Structure 1
Amino acid sequence: MKIETLSGEVEPVLDAGLGALRTERGNLPLESVDIRAAVTGLSARVTMTQGFQNPFDVPLEATYVFPLPDRAAVTGMRMEAADRIVEGVLKERGQAREDYATALAAGQRAALAEEERPDVFTMSVGNIPPGERVTVRLTLSQPLPYEDGEATLRFPLVVAPRYVPGTPLDGPPVGAGTQSDTDAVPDASRISPPVLLPGFPNPVRLSLSVDVDPAGLSLDGVRSSLHTVTTDGRTLRLEPGERLDRDFVLRLRYDAGASCAVSGETFTVTVLPPAGPAVPRPRDVVILLDRSGSMMGWKMVAARRAAARIVDTLRGGAEGGDRFAVLSFDHEIERALPGGLSAAADRARYRAVEHLARLEARGGTEMLRPLEEAVALLSDDGDRDRIIVLVTDGQVGNEDQILGRLSLDGIRVHTIGIDQAVNAGFLGRLAAAGAGRCELVESEDRLDEVMDHVHRRIATPAVTGVSLEMPSAVPGSQAPARPGDLFPGVPLVVRGRCTAPGPVTLRGVAADGSPWEQRLEPVATENPAATAIWARAHLRELEDRYSSGVAAAHPDVERIIDTSLRYGVLCRFTAFVAVDTRVVTDGAPAHKVIQPVESPAGWDTTLAANTLGAPAPAPGGYGAPPAAPGSYGPPPAPGQAAPAAPAPGAAPVPGSYGAPAPTGAPAPSGYGARPDAPGSYGPQPAPGYVAPPAPAAPPAGGAPGGPARGFVHARARMPRHEPARAVDTRSQVAEELRRLRAARPASEVERRQVLADLGSRLEVLVPGEFTELAAALRTCDDPAGPRGHALDELWDRTLSELAAYAEPSERKPFWHRRPR
């Protein structure tokens, strides 16, 4: 087969693809991933082994961004190379990174495992000598969620591209990924690995096996999301040939009941909802449907069906009936019905379903604003349940920003994740923050089953306001800290620490308003994973509090680090590091590679020309012609043909995968480097392809005549403020900060005037950035505004928030940064 280009035909080269450079030993550092899980009852112990090989003639540092189950506790790491075995040590993250860098500079082998998100991790393996193979083993423990009679083992296999909003930050990126760090996602470059072209001929070798021990429970059946699973007694294995491009999901049908299990000093309470029909209550329901570009294909069809099913279940009636709104969003928000909430009459529901049927996937996933709009629609209105149902794949990078800004007091949030590589960690965190449930749909075949579950979840809870009393419980150790509500078919699981076994009493309010109480006697068990699973759940709550800014930074960071090190469980503020004492190279590795990941299964891998007026992508962007070996770098200038591809085994050309950038030159915008050139997020043109001029940038706000409306994939660069503008606003805010620090009037009247004037300027200088602060500053114009201690607190708050915006956060390591 030949590739037709503007300059004629070019013979293709075997193994051409994203970052391809053929050598006798292969062309990518990650050689294999082996996952072995042992399920015991409602928990699992997993060993994940990653095999790296250096196919180059110089020492290599390989980086791999990979997912793990968001509830999993990573409790150990081991590095093996040649005849050496090195156990990893859990340390404070800054210290671990320093030890790793020092080892590499000294020519020693080393490995570093870090958490970027509850379900996204980075493995770095440095100073791999030419031709050598290094394996790194991670051990983890995870609970199996149990709902509607089934326990679920979900193991994600790929980090899907995520939409990154916000203004690019100044300074160097904190990672080697394809996205720029922004004020909304300060670590975007660490969660955006490059993506392989579809059909890349040498995928990573994947093996996966699961041993199932019901541990006394009645096991009535096993279902898997992958049809290639074979059974051998109670051992299940994937057949060879599967790729790392989707989640592996195993469902075990158990018959479980309420219990209080105590293992050592850790207790696990499982509470079942009471039987019997719930008394229906009137509901206000806002349905949010993600129609962004990453939802293209079967996901959009499933999302429309899911939202329509929810609309159909709403109860009409003039009095006591439901009210609802349907909002679809990408980088814009559209309402199915005008105004606020509409009564769930037949006509309104019909119009909403009509709106849903017309929706197609397009633009970027701006999720925060529609969630805030949904919250605003659900004002507290007496004795009505307030519910948000979000239907999405969850592929956003600003999870912490969203969770930090939402105020969900009294609003229940249910999430429906639709994807074969769904962002389950974020959707689970959002549902937990809203005391709701998270349901995941990996195929259209499972949609009807999930929607039956969702229908019961958005109905009236069986018990609300559940609290747990255990006299011997350690204060502050309970996870979740607020148990939430009981839904039909969904047991509530609460973990914590105790000084001794003791009875547990649970109290709440039943659906009919009567008091509800359940008492459980503890049962001693031997579960080695119990403490690690509790510690991970507790750490997740502390991390979420830190990310959202609920508590002061320093006390929470210290508590998080102490908990992580004490119980040996990895978190965002710690890291596992393994350093071999043997010197194997002359110094730091000469070549660095970030392992590209598979394109998630079911994702549309072509970007068609925009049918709504937005320009087509520039050559070298997502959707450009395939790359030739060694050509993943900046595209040729307009009118200039690309250089010919090197022969297999030849030395790589500068700027290509396999060769360092020329001294003093910017990093190439290809595999393993940060894409600095506009439009350079994907594969580059084939040799001989003449690049047409890049399309003109649209004016602020999008294409002429309105905001950008075209399909823009998570991997493509969305129109947003230029970095120069970000620098200007920061310098202006810095000047305001300097003035405020220079003169603090002694008179309260003068101070109130200074702050009030500043509030009006901030709204003009940085619209939307200091909304809450500006509102607080405006109260200084009110005669009844802040005085005394309250005025001092407002002055100090203003200094703090201006400094956080104006002064880059280089003083803090990236894992301490909060989104703005």
Structure 2
Amino acid sequence: MVNCCGLITAQKEPVPLQSIDVRVEVRDHVATVVSTLNYENKEDKPLEAVFVFPLPGDAAVCHFSAEIGQKHIVAEVKEKQQAREEYDEALSSGQQAFLLEESAESPDIFSLSVGSLPPGESASIRLEYVTELAVQADDGLRFCLPAVLNPRYQPQGSEGPSVQVSSVPASQVPYSLSFSVQVSSPRPVSKVESSSSLEPLQYLNTDQTQASVKLAAGHKFDRDVEVLIYYKDAHQPTAVVEAGQTSAKTGTLMGDPVVMLSLYPEFPQSVMSSLASCGEFVFLIDRSGSMECPINNSNPQETRICSARDTLLLLLKSLPMGCYFNIYSFGSSFEHIFPASVEYSEKTMEEALKKVEGMSANLGGTEILQPLEHIYSQPCVPNQPRQLFVFTDGEVGNTKDVIDLVKKNAGSHRCFSFGIGEGASSALISGLAKEGGGHSQFITGTDRMQPKVMQSLKYALQPAVQDISVTWDLPKKVSATVLSPPITAIFQGQRSLIYAQLTGQSSEAAEGTVMVKYTLAGHPSQNQLHFSLKPAEDTGLTVHKLAARSVIQSLELEERAHRGQQHDEVKKKVVELSVHSGVSSSFTAFIAVNKDNSEPIQGPLVRRNIPTPFYGRAVPMMAMCCAPAPFADCLPITHDVQFLTSYADEEPEAAEIQRDPLLQLVSLQKASGCWLLDAHLAAVLGKSSEEVEKSKPAAVKEEVYATILALIWLHGFKLDAKEEWELLSVKAASWLHAQNAPCVSECVEAGNALLGCSVKKEALGL
């Protein structure tokens, strides 16, 4: 009989983890996160508590310590196998020990083992990491505390070993979360938003450059905690020089100063106004069972797959004439609409849309590697740059293999990725875009997928930046060694980060200049930034840790690419840098042993798996208990298809949902950009066919008037959704220009009178 005092899991086992307290300090676009996990053993036997949880994929975990009674133990970074052996040895000799390790398969999953917690004992674990904040399309900086760990699908036949992860529905999570953010920046903080309930924003000074915000009480673990921070004049380039660690040797990464440059290239308006009219657009859509989950719990009818279908409609209507495209979908197997990419025309667009309408989340697991391999095996279309758009809820176990494949093919394409719903793997979504020279977006909470995807399509249609080079102008005795991977993609208004180690002596007043040169649409261009070499104060080695993480990730990619002759050499470099910098890697772990135990802890240890919340509707108990994550001790895998068996008998509710009038209007547009004057258009406009026909000026072609009516309706009634229809309205305006139609002003006047609008001709691009 289990003693059910205190917090218990769905399996009626006590949970030693009582609460998690997270404090985030944001400085400009870097976050330092301190998580304190409070444990208490309320049972009558000693425990080992194992907690598998997500972290941001590019987080640099840089501190791990434990507080037991009056004793404070700081963990050391050691080679992973050595750390595990020390942990096992400590437990077997009755000592307390703590082990924190990163998953070998995915850098956004960690395992924390708290060993030999005696009856009645409490322990407080402190975990610290630093992470860069990604810039969103609307210039917000996104911080995400992953709270939801969905089961990661492990591909069939893969070697990925796993530990058991106890997952429970969000409503049954037996521990509490408190969360606060403090923001400081050289520029005023204009607002802070979140998908979770926050207490009101508090400004800490009169110029509003410092602010704090807290998570409102009663947070439900049904979502990741996402915070969007907006600064005034967000696009200012910045440089932070950080002094080296006094105890570290000069000439090493930790001993020398490191500079972090944040650049925002601005392109000439003349180039940006001419979006590309060519390209090969390949859309890869996740159709695994979990895509049947709702995007958010407030609107359960809006499933991930429904939103993906609507988004594909907008994308297909917005593509330029003369480009090429194809659509792949995947689950345990994959399908493609055309054997190879086809030229975009009315016929091919209609054929694709028919197939898209029939897409459902019925393809089982999440085997994303195979369709990617197939896409890359297809020859590129000459003079049509390949642009890959990947839509997934990102629950895969072989993240590193997928990212390696994209990096290997980065020279032939750009990759834009979209993480759909709570718990999408940040390592996968961000990694795809980073290694594929594209841009990543996350669709969570009440976000609509469409505006985010259309923003990425605009990026994809921007002319590709070529011949990127970075040059430095520094004082005579100072040199810079760049620690970041080379910049491979630059988009208008998007940030590029560069880390560099500065060697040599300079005066406090010295200055440096960095210049980024590139070719854009055949024109040479450049952006430069002047910065002071005087080190900033109170940065807590944040820049060094982020730079070390950047180098470690590059070395890990290199190690996987050269398995064989250079494997041991590169792995040795990773371990050395990880130990030297105190930053986690896939080859190291944090280990802390309490060697001051006055008496060995007696009795066999009882293992308690701390449950992690997953997102979604009710699932079978078997799937709930066995939700996998890729870790060391081999256990059977629960596949996505099994995970979703509870959905099998449910009828889709999509047919009952009234289609959005905007999407109805979009669905009627032809590939060329025009609309037809028919009963379907009249119905969307809320008029009868007779009313529409009667209002048409006599000398005007039906398609011309229909297209002007559609544009007036979009500007008059859907201006708040302009991001979604902007590209297809540009296409419509181009079509109208090509018609050399007479009486355009008369048509606009008649259309305004019919629809009760007052839209100016110039606003329509005419």
Distance 2:548 2:394 in 1: 26
* Cα separation, partners in 2 of 1:588 and 1:289, compared to 1, 3 Å: farther
Distance 2:87 2:199 in 1: 39
Kept in 1: contact 2:469–2:516 (CA 8 A) = yes
Q: 1:410 aligns with which of 408, 412, 423?
A: 412
| Range with bigger deviation, 59-68 or 80-89 | 80-89
Question: Which secondary structure state, in structure 1, belongs to the residue aligned with residue 554 of structure 2?
Answer: helix
The letter for the 2-side match of 1:67 is P
Distance 1:560 1:14 in 2: 42
Kept in 2: contact 1:129–1:585 (CA 8 A) = no
Deviation at 1:18, TM superposition (A): 3.0
Q: 2:215 aligns with which of 215, 229, 238?
A: 238
Counterpart for residue 544 of structure 2: 531
Question: Which secondary structure state, in structure 1, belongs to the residue aligned with residue 315 of structure 2?
Answer: helix
Counterpart for residue 720 of structure 1: none
Distance 1:50 1:291 in 2: 36
Distance 1:81 1:621 in 2: 36
State the TM-score, normalized to the length of structure 2. Answer: 0.71
CA RMSD of aligned residues (A): 3.0
The letter for the 2-side match of 1:519 is Q
Question: Which secondary structure state, in structure 1, belongs to the residue aligned with residue 623 of structure 2?
Answer: coil
Distance 1:76 1:46 in 2: 10
Distance 1:344 1:330 in 2: 26
Kept in 1: contact 2:118–2:601 (CA 8 A) = no
Counterpart for residue 740 of structure 2: none
| Pair 1:262-2:264 in alignment | no
The C-alpha deviation readout for 1:695-732, integer Å capped at 9, x for no partner, is: xxxxxxxxxxxxxxx9543799xxxxxxxxxxxxxxxx
Counterpart for residue 431 of structure 2: 429
Deviation at 1:15, TM superposition (A): 9.0
Kept in 1: contact 2:192–2:201 (CA 8 A) = no
The letter for the 1-side match of 2:607 is K
Distance 1:588 1:371 in 2: 51
Question: Which secondary structure state, in structure 2, belongs to the residue aligned with residue 76 of structure 1?
Answer: strand
Deviation at 1:416, TM superposition (A): 0.8
What does 1:772-811 correspond to in 2, within 5 Å?
Answer: none
The letter for the 2-side match of 1:293 is G
| Pair 1:519-2:524 in alignment | no
Counterpart for residue 503 of structure 1: 513
Question: Which secondary structure state, in structure 2, belongs to the residue aligned with residue 75 of structure 1?
Answer: strand
Kept in 1: contact 2:59–2:129 (CA 8 A) = yes
| Pair 1:494-2:498 in alignment | yes
Deviation at 1:221, TM superposition (A): 1.5
Kept in 1: contact 2:574–2:587 (CA 8 A) = yes
Deviation at 1:622, TM superposition (A): 3.3
Unpaired stretches in structure 2, ≥5 consecutive residues: 204-210, 244-256, 294-302, 505-510, 647-766
Counterpart for residue 329 of structure 2: 328
Distance 2:512 2:23 in 1: 36
State the TM-score, normalized to the length of structure 1. Answer: 0.67
Deviation at 1:353, TM superposition (A): 2.5
Question: Which secondary structure state, in structure 2, belongs to the residue aligned with residue 103 of structure 1?
Answer: helix
Counterpart for residue 205 of structure 1: 176
* Cα separation, partners in 2 of 1:267 and 1:461, compared to 1, 3 Å: farther
Kept in 2: contact 1:105–1:588 (CA 8 A) = no
* Cα separation, partners in 2 of 1:52 and 1:329, compared to 1, 3 Å: same
The letter for the 1-side match of 2:108 is D
| Pair 1:220-2:197 in alignment | no
Counterpart for residue 164 of structure 1: 154
The letter for the 1-side match of 2:306 is V
What does 1:150-549 correspond to in 2, within 5 Å?
Answer: 150-167=140-157, 182-183=158-159, 185=160, 187=161, 189-190=162-163, 193-197=165-169, 199-200=171-172, 203-213=174-184, 215-233=185-203, 234-254=211-231, 255-256=233-234, 257-264=236-243, 265-275=257-267, 276=269, 277-278=271-272, 279=274, 280-297=276-293, 298-316=303-321, 321-336=322-337, 338-362=338-362, 363-377=364-378, 379-406=379-406, 407-408=408-409, 409-461=411-463, 463-470=465-472, 477-479=482-484, 481-499=485-503, 502-510=512-520, 512-523=521-532, 524=534, 525-526=536-537, 527-528=539-540, 529-549=542-562
Counterpart for residue 655 of structure 2: none
* Cα separation, partners in 2 of 1:522 and 1:239, compared to 1, 3 Å: same
Question: Which secondary structure state, in structure 1, belongs to the residue aligned with residue 462 of structure 2?
Answer: coil
Question: Which secondary structure state, in structure 2, belongs to the residue aligned with residue 522 of structure 1?
Answer: strand
Deviation at 1:327, TM superposition (A): 1.0
Kept in 2: contact 1:463–1:516 (CA 8 A) = no
Question: Which secondary structure state, in structure 1, belongs to the residue aligned with residue 613 of structure 2?
Answer: coil
Kept in 2: contact 1:161–1:714 (CA 8 A) = no
Distance 1:552 1:340 in 2: 37
What does 1:1-12 correspond to in 2, within 5 Å?
Answer: none
Distance 1:113 1:16 in 2: 24
> Identity over aligned residues, as a percent?
26
Counterpart for residue 568 of structure 1: 582
Distance 1:15 1:97 in 2: 29
Deviation at 1:235, TM superposition (A): 1.9
Deviation at 1:474, TM superposition (A): 7.0
| Pair 1:20-2:16 in alignment | no
* Cα separation, partners in 2 of 1:331 and 1:36, compared to 1, 3 Å: same
* Cα separation, partners in 2 of 1:585 and 1:304, compared to 1, 3 Å: farther
The letter for the 2-side match of 1:566 is H
The letter for the 2-side match of 1:570 is S
Deviation at 1:559, TM superposition (A): 0.9
Question: Which secondary structure state, in structure 2, belongs to the residue aligned with residue 532 of structure 1?
Answer: helix
Deviation at 1:417, TM superposition (A): 0.8
The C-alpha deviation readout for 1:7-60, integer Å capped at 9, x for no partner, is: xxxxxx999963213xxxxx1122111100111111121110111222321111
Kept in 2: contact 1:204–1:244 (CA 8 A) = no
The C-alpha deviation readout for 1:101-159, integer Å capped at 9, x for no partner, is: 22212212111111113211111110100121111001222222224422111111132
The C-alpha deviation readout for 1:325-370, integer Å capped at 9, x for no partner, is: 011111222223x331111112322332332222111211111111
Q: How many residues align?
A: 584
Distance 2:51 2:417 in 1: 29
Kept in 2: contact 1:164–1:714 (CA 8 A) = no
Distance 1:79 1:14 in 2: 22
The letter for the 1-side match of 2:288 is S
The C-alpha deviation readout for 1:528-574, integer Å capped at 9, x for no partner, is: 31111111122112122223436821111111111112222111122
Kept in 1: contact 2:8–2:15 (CA 8 A) = no
Distance 1:125 1:559 in 2: 29
Distance 2:7 2:582 in 1: 42
Distance 2:404 2:134 in 1: 25
Kept in 2: contact 1:470–1:504 (CA 8 A) = yes
Distance 2:98 2:225 in 1: 26
Deviation at 1:674, TM superposition (A): 8.3
Unpaired stretches in structure 1, ≥5 consecutive residues: 1-12, 22-26, 168-181, 608-619, 624-631, 634-668, 683-709, 717-820
The C-alpha deviation readout for 1:736-770, integer Å capped at 9, x for no partner, is: xxxxxxxxxxxxxxxxxxxxxxxxxxxxxxxxxxx
Kept in 2: contact 1:273–1:462 (CA 8 A) = no
Kept in 2: contact 1:113–1:122 (CA 8 A) = yes
Distance 1:351 1:381 in 2: 21
* Cα separation, partners in 2 of 1:594 and 1:131, compared to 1, 3 Å: same
* Cα separation, partners in 2 of 1:339 and 1:466, compared to 1, 3 Å: same
Kept in 1: contact 2:289–2:644 (CA 8 A) = yes
* Cα separation, partners in 2 of 1:371 and 1:476, compared to 1, 3 Å: farther
Distance 2:366 2:638 in 1: 17
Question: Which secondary structure state, in structure 2, belongs to the residue aligned with residue 166 of structure 1?
Answer: coil
Kept in 2: contact 1:302–1:444 (CA 8 A) = no
Kept in 2: contact 1:104–1:587 (CA 8 A) = no
Counterpart for residue 146 of structure 1: 135
Distance 2:95 2:216 in 1: 37
Distance 2:87 2:632 in 1: 21
Kept in 2: contact 1:106–1:587 (CA 8 A) = no
